[in-house]
Amino acid sequence: MKHVVIPLLLVILTLNRLQAQDHIAVDVKIDPRFEALSIFYFLALKDSLDADERPSPSVYYKAVKQHFGPYDAHPALMWYRKLSNWDGYDMPSLGIFLSDTPVLKPVAKMEFSYVKNGTTLQVLLDKVNTFYKDSRAGEFMQEQKGRYKKVEADGKAAIVNSGILRDVQAFYGNHQVKRVVIFPDLLNNIGNNAIPLQDGKYKEACMMRIGYITDSTDNLTDDSMVRFSPPLNVIAHECSHVFLHDFLVRYRSRLFAVRRIFLESADGEKYEEQEWENEMEELLVRACVAGILARRDGVVAGEMECSGQARKYRYMPGLYELLGKYAAERNKYHTIQEFYPRIMAWFEQLAATTSAGLSGQRRRS
């Protein structure tokens, strides 16, 4: 009988790889609260959105149109259409703070205001609840339960099999995220959003709402099956907000002093001053995602992601290059937090350099 000797180092590396992947629990679920809000929102605005923002054609959207078609002129939908302002596409995310259907009502402290239409949360919920009851939305969702379960299973399998959560965790060097919860939104063809929560019970969780994003080149029809496979850069992006949330907390005063560098896009668009925190965080998150993809799929993948993001974020290439030093010196920087001082110093040097350049231009003029 032959004895096979497996090198100890190989065993350790294999176990570490498996443990890192298992360290993050993944849950993909179509939540009735989110779905009720999404159905209301996208039915109300279906004829007002740009063509490429309307729900992706699918057997699911076909079922939505067939069931809810007779209610297209429902007073609640007509009320919403006549508002001077509409909420953003992330409005259904407020479902996380609400009770279960059939009657939606606040049951947790609202940590973020998703209602931006000029009315109040209670007024909006009253309209949604009325539409939910009159349109028999609960019956519709019950009929779609089998389809929902398949979407959930397909989405979870795609994420787990990709290993993207392991790659994200390895890049940041810590295990602060223990659970990732994804809420698919099959009518949302506009964008994705993380759901930032300060409630202690979500401390180690990354919550995100992921749309069913497609484009005309997919040649989808009302007979197309829903194939929900979240883009890996989107998953990495939304998780990164959680891993990097303490950067702003640690350096807020110093970042505020250099906020000017975050208030202009690559093509010269100016942002309102109160947007500097969001723009700073988006720049840092997107640079880190490029670093994650470079580590995972090679330098070309990282550079492609960087190049795409640089079309909006002027300082993306420089920050991505800096993070390359973090990746190359992991024996020195075991976690991204240990590298924070260099990131902050880079922002301050950038601000000083650009300020000097502007001053020189003014003197020459």
Q: What is the pLDDT of residue 57?
A: 94
Question: CB atoms < 10 A from the CB of 220, how many?
Answer: 18
pLDDT in tens, 226-262: 999 988 999 999 999 989 989 999 999 999 999 999 9
Looking at the structure, tell me whether residues 140 and 159 fall in a common domain: no
Point out the residues of the chain with pLDDT beneath 70.
1-22, 355-365
Could you tell me if residue 17 is inside a domain?
Answer: no
Same domain? For 113 and 182 the reply is: no
Predicted TM-score (pTM) above 0.85: no
Q: Give every CB contact of residue 26 below 8 A, 6+ residues apart in sequence.
A: 156, 159, 160, 165, 179, 180, 182
Q: Are residues 44 and 100 in the same domain?
A: yes
Burial class (CB in 10 A: 0-12, 13-18, 19+), 242: buried
| Total number of domains constituting the chain | 3
Whether 165 maps to a domain, the answer reads: yes
Backbone angles phi and psi of 344, in degrees to 5: -65, -45
Encoded tokens for 83: 């508002």
b or e along 145-155 (b: 16 or more beta carbons within 10 Å of the residue's beta carbon)? eebbeebbebb
> Do 251 and 320 fall within a single domain?
yes
Phi-psi region for residue 93, left (φ > 0), alpha (ψ -120 to 50) or beta?
alpha
Are residues 335 and 289 part of one domain?
yes
d(CA 167, CA 232): 10
Distance from CA of residue 62 to its chain's centroid? 26
Does 261 share its domain with 307?
A: yes
What pLDDT is attached to residue 21? Answer: 45
Q: Are 141 and 39 in the same domain?
A: yes
Same domain? For 347 and 251 the reply is yes
Q: How many angstroms separate the CA atoms of 27 and 180, rounded? A: 6
What are 208's strand-pairing partners?
182, 194
Q: What is the pLDDT of residue 80?
A: 97
Residue 47 covered by a domain: yes
Give, as one character, the DSSP assignment of residue 183: E
Q: Assess whether 116 and 137 both reside in one domain.
A: yes
Residues 153 and 260 occupy one common structural domain: no
SS3 26: strand
Mark whether 139 and 218 lie in a shared domain.
Answer: no
Give dist(CA 274, CA 284) in Å, integer: 17
What per-residue confidence (pLDDT) applies to 362? 41
For the stretch 100-156, pLDDT in tens is 989 999 998 888 788 999 999 999 999 999 999 999 999 999 999 999 999 999 999
Report the distance separating Cα 107 and Cα 205, nearest Å. 19
Q: Which of 249, 252, 250, 270 is nearest to 260 (CA)?
A: 270
Predicted local distance difference test score (pLDDT) of residue 7: 44
Looking at 121, 145, 169, the residue that finishes a domain is: 145
12 domain residue, yes or no: no
pLDDT of 201 reads 78
2 occurs within a structural domain = no
For residues 75 and 131, membership in a common domain is answered with: yes
Full domain range(s) for residue 258: 244-359
Out of 113, 145, 177, a domain closes at 145
Are the beta carbons of 178 and 205 closer than 8 angstroms?
yes
- Please report whether residue 364 resides in a domain: no
Query: Is 4 within a domain?
Result: no
Q: Phi and psi for 207 in degrees, rounded to 5?
A: -105, 135
Amino acid at 10: L
Identify whether 3 is part of a domain.
Answer: no
- Asked which of 97, 122, 145 is the last residue of a domain, the reply is 145
Question: Position 247: which residue type?
Answer: F
